[in-house]
């Protein structure tokens, strides 16, 4: 715990993981639980899943369940050793998938149908095939936008004169709906967008053909 608090990121073996999970639960050490999440891999995910359920480290428990679901095919035999309750919780998770967002194209629908219809596709690992997830809102740019794992699309341009788009969008995969996000203070395109711990970070990019060095943050929970 002291090592993590001082900024170190120690690698842990199985016995140490059990001790650290117990410690994280006893002292309610958020950074310690976060470090355990960063250490999740195919060798320790089942151990972390069971131990976090025992000690009530719920953030790690949920992330372990999601990790196991994503590797469900590879861990099917090992899963049989879990209790029925833990197995059912893993199976209730929505698997993470590869997602492809359509990019700007001047082609016709006959030449490239998915780009022309502004669809977002996901890769179904069971069927080994790409399938349509949803369609982009018509107001959304597909050129020079920022896209991040919090299911958000920010910025971008319309037209050859690169007019910056004012509207930002968020996609909820559970309800299959798009919602509007507040526009950032400086309209940007060709930016870097990162989703981290419930916040969006919009960095750099361009505005009116001028390179930007600003960084803006948007808290998804507080909506500001």
In the three-class reduction of DSSP (H, G, I as helix; E, B as strand; rest coil), residue 68 is classed as helix
Distance of CA 7 to the CA centre of its chain: 24
Residue count of the chain, please give it.
224
Phi, psi angles (nearest 5°) of residue 5: -65, -30
Q: Which residues pair with 153 in a beta bridge?
A: 147, 169
Q: How far apart are CA 1 and CA 207, in angstroms?
A: 45
Among residues 82, 112, 135, the one where a domain terminates is: 135
Residues 146 and 221 in one domain: yes
Residues 160 and 223 in one domain: yes
Averaged pLDDT, 5-26: 92
Residues 15 and 86 in one domain: yes
Q: State both tokens at 105.
A: 């194209």
Q: What is the dihedral of CA 81, 26, 58, 221, to 10 degrees?
A: -170
Q: Which residues pair with 177 in a beta bridge?
A: 172
Residues 165 and 210 in one domain: yes
**Domain span holding position 111:** 97-135
Residues 55 and 22 sit within 8 Å (Cβ to Cβ):
yes
**Number of domains composing the chain:** 3
pLDDT in tens, 49-95: 999 999 999 999 999 999 999 888 788 889 899 999 999 999 988 77
Q: What is the pTM of this model?
A: 0.57
What pLDDT shows up at residue 206? 81
Query: Could you say which DSSP state residue 121 is in?
Result: E
Residues 128 and 84 in one domain: no
Residues 130 and 124 sit within 8 Å (Cβ to Cβ):
yes
pLDDT band at 160 (very low <50, low <70, confident <90, very high): very low
Q: How far apart are CA 50 and CA 40, in angstroms?
A: 13
Residues 43 and 86 in one domain: yes
Contacts of 136 (CB under 8 A, 6+ apart): 101, 102, 118, 119, 120, 142, 153, 169
Residues 175 and 207 in one domain: yes
pLDDT higher than 80, residue 31 = yes
Query: Could you say which DSSP state residue 33 is in?
Result: H
What pLDDT shows up at residue 45? 94
Using CB atoms within 10 A of its CB, is residue 53 exposed (0-12), middle (13-18) or buried (19+)? buried
pLDDT in tens, 92-116: 887 776 666 655 555 444 444 444 5
Residues 125 and 143 in one domain: no
pLDDT higher than 70, residue 182 = yes
Q: How far apart are CA 199 and CA 177, in angstroms?
A: 20
Residue 144, Ramachandran bin (φ over 0: left; ψ between -120 and 50: alpha; else beta): left
């Amino acid at each position: 715990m002291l090592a993590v608090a001082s900024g170190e990121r120690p690698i842990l073996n199985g016995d140490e993981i059990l001790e650290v999970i117990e410690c994280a639960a006893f002292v309610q050490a958020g950074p310690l639980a976060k470090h355990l999440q960063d250490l999740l891999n195919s060798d320790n995910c089942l151990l972390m899943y069971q131990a976090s359920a025992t000690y009530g480290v719920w953030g790690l428990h949920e992330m372990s369940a999601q990790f196991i679901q994503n590797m469900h095919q590879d861990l099917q035999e090992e899963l049989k050793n879990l209790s029925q309750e833990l197995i059912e919780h893993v199976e209730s998770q929505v698997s993470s998938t590869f997602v492809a967002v359509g990019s700007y194209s001047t082609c016709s629908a006959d030449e490239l149908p998915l780009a022309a219809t502004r669809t977002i596709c996901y890769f179904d690992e069971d069927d080994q095939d790409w399938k349509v997830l949803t369609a982009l809102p018509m107001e959304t740019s597909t050129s020079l936008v920022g896209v991040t794992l919090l299911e958000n699309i920010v910025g971008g341009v319309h037209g050859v004169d690169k007019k910056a788009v004012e509207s930002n969008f968020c996609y909820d995969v559970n309800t299959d709906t798009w919602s509007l996000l507040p526009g950032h203070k400086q309209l940007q395109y060709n930016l870097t967008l990162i989703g981290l711990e419930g916040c969006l970070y919009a960095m750099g990019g361009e505005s009116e053909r001028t390179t930007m060095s600003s960084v803006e943050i948007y808290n998804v929970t507080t909506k500001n």
